[in-house]
């Protein structure tokens, strides 16, 4: 089959959540023997080389299109009363290329990676006016329920951002609802996302869960020995992303002084690209390291003692938690962080929603070797058992109406 994939960023290198997910989807479909064409916008010239590397790595075709200056895209969103997210990723050149591909009649399926790609379909008259019984399949991978994420931001912000986030939530929700009407099948990353969106629908027959997987050849346990008196706590992620920034600032503000009182030589490593100024300032505090961008995140997982994921704002499955579990690293997270992860609290992972619960969970891991070893073993086995990409992506193959290539 010939498949067009509309990606809001070129998914290479696969070094952040949505790029990892899209990369493995493309790899899976290409391994099935299908002809893949990826269309993606870009902001920086260096991204062109990423597209070429993706082509060489997966033997697919990647076509990239420059975006106009950021201020022009955002201004266009305001003037046209569109969501800023949609304007941010919209390229007129990419629209024309997509329209040409659709007019050729050669393609069997279109896969959109996120609601930001929906306008390319909406603005194509052949697709919006198509016969739904036609063989061409339209598949939407929403990943997360973005409108709810913006609502969370709105609820925790002051003016003027509460207005900005509220506007984004309302307009993105409009796109999500229209996408459900037009597309043949829609995926979310977790059952909770499906449930939240279903509350707005009269029926949800086109909604499915498509979870995240883990490349267990890249993420695997390597740490040996006991924790000792110098425990290393770890958080990873893009560090100007609001949920990540909020989680880390809360952890340090609520717990770090208390942890250092009991374990004076404890370290907290914050590993990830684009740290905000607030995150960079944490690096001045005793025991805290802010790395910025790192070429390979795996060694950080394998050398740490505890992974903390104290999310208070979140949507969807946290890839970083799956990666930590795959590396045999005990994880403490909130109930929000556990969303969409099929882990058993107390056996595979520890759940803590308050300062006291977080501290007690850390104390249990650091002072009870059997707890540490049990969490380490159970988490790694869970990933091996349930989160291989080949297993996770079979539903995507079915939705596009291709035979499973496993």
The predicted-structure confidence for 11-49, as pLDDT tens digits, reads as follows 999 888 899 999 999 999 999 999 999 999 999 999 999
Cα distances (Å, whole numbers) of residue 219 to 216, 296, 327: 5, 11, 6
Mean pLDDT of 96-110: 95
Domains of the chain and any CATH numbers: 2-213+389-399 (3.40.50.2000), 232-386 (3.40.50.2000)
**Cβ 273 vs Cβ 239: under 8 Å:** yes
The pLDDT assigned to 262 comes to 95
- pLDDT in the model for residue 402: 46
Give the three-class secondary structure for 112: strand
Beta strands 331-333 and 350-351 are: parallel
Dist CA 359 CA 37 (whole Å): 49
Residue 126: its pLDDT value, please? 87
User: CA-CA distance, 373 to 396, in Å (whole number)?
Assistant: 35
pLDDT confidence band for 131 (50 / 70 / 90) = low
Q: Could you give the CA distance from residue 384 to residue 294 in angstroms, rounded to a whole number?
A: 25
Output the pLDDT for position 404. Answer: 44
Using a pLDDT cut of 90, give the percent of the chain over it. 83
Mind listing the pLDDT tens digit for each residue in 145-169?
999 999 999 998 999 999 999 999 9
Most confident segment among 114-123, 134-143, 382-391? 114-123
- Secondary structure (DSSP) of 149-197: HHHHHHHT--TTHHHHHHHHHHHHHHHHHHHHHHSSEEEESSHHHHHHH
pLDDT greater than 90 at residue 228: no
pLDDT of residue 375: 96
* Residue 274 pLDDT > 60: yes
What does the pLDDT average to over 214-240? 87
Q: What are the structure tokens assigned to 76, written together?
A: 């266009």
pLDDT band at 406 (very low <50, low <70, confident <90, very high): very low
What local confidence, expressed as pLDDT, does residue 315 receive? Answer: 67
Q: How far apart are CA 331 and CA 382, in angstroms?
A: 13
Residue 229, pLDDT above cutoff 90: no
Task: Name the least confident of 54-68, 94-108, 181-195, 385-399.
Answer: 385-399
What was the pLDDT predicted at 226?
64
Query: What's the whole-number mean pLDDT along residues 243-268?
Result: 96
Q: What is the mean pLDDT of residues 357-374?
A: 95
Q: How many helices (H) and strands (E) does the chain have?
A: 20, 13
Instruction: Kindly write down the DSSP assignment for every residue of 115-129, as one continuous string.
Output: GGGHHHHHT-HHHHT
- Cα separation, 20 vs 193, in Å, equals 19
Radius of gyration of the chain from its Cα atoms, rounded to whole angstroms: 22
pLDDT exceeds 70 at position 348: yes
Arithmetic mean of pLDDT, 53-72: 96
Q: H or E element: which one contains 42?
A: strand 35-42
Confidence at residue 79, expressed as pLDDT on a 0 to 100 scale: 92
Residue 132 confidence (pLDDT): 59
Q: Answer yes or no: is pLDDT of 133 > 70.
A: no
Q: What are φ and ψ of residue 186, in 5° steps? A: -130, 135
Q: What distance, in Å, lies between the first and last C-alpha atoms of the chain?
A: 17
């Amino acid at each position: 089959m010939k498949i067009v994939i509309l990606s809001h960023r070129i998914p290479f290198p696969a070094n952040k959540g949505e790029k990892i997910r899209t990369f493995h989807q493309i790899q899976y479909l290409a391994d099935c023997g299908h002809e893949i064409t990826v269309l993606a916008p870009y902001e920086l010239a260096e991204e062109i080389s990423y597209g070429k590397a993706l082509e060489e790595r997966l033997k697919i075709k990647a076509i990239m299109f420059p975006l106009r200056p950021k201020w022009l895209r955002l201004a266009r969103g305001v003037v046209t009363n569109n969501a800023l997210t949609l304007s941010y990723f919209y390229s007129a050149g990419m629209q024309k290329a997509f329209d040409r591909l659709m007019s050729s009649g050669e393609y069997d399926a279109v896969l959109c990676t996120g609601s930001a790609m929906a306008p390319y379909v909406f603005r194509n008259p052949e697709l919006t006016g198509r016969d739904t019984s036609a063989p061409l399949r339209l598949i939407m991978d929403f990943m997360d329920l973005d409108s709810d994420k913006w609502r969370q931001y709105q609820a925790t912000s002051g003016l003027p951002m509460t207005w900005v986030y509220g506007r984004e939530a309302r307009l993105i929700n409009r796109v999500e609802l229209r996408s459900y009407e037009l597309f043949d099948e829609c995926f979310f990353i977790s059952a909770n996302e499906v449930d939240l969106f279903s509350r707005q629908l009269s029926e949800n027959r086109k909604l499915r869960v498509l979870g995240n997987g883990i490349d267990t050849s890249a993420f695997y346990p390597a740490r040996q020995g006991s924790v000792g008196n110098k425990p290393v706590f770890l958080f990873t992620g893009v560090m100007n992303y609001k949920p990540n920034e909020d989680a880390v600032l809360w952890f340090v503000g609520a717990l770090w002084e208390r942890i250092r009182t009991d374990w004076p030589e404890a370290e907290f490593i914050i590993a990830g690209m684009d740290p905000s100024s607030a995150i960079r300032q944490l690096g001045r505090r005793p025991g805290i390291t802010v790395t910025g961008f790192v070429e390979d995140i795996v060694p950080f997982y394998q050398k740490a003692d505890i992974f903390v994921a104290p999310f208070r704002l979140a949507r969807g499955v946290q890839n970083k938690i799956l990666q930590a579990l795959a590396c045999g690293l005990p994880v403490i997270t909130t109930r929000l962080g556990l969303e969409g992860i099929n882990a058993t609290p107390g056996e595979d992972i520890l759940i803590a929603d308050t300062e006291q619960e977080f501290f007690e969970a850390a104390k249990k891991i650091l002072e009870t070797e059997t707890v540490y070893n049990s969490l380490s073993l159970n988490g790694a086995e869970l990933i091996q058992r349930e989160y291989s990409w080949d297993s996770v992506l079979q539903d995507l193959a079915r939705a596009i109406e291709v035979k499973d290539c496993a």
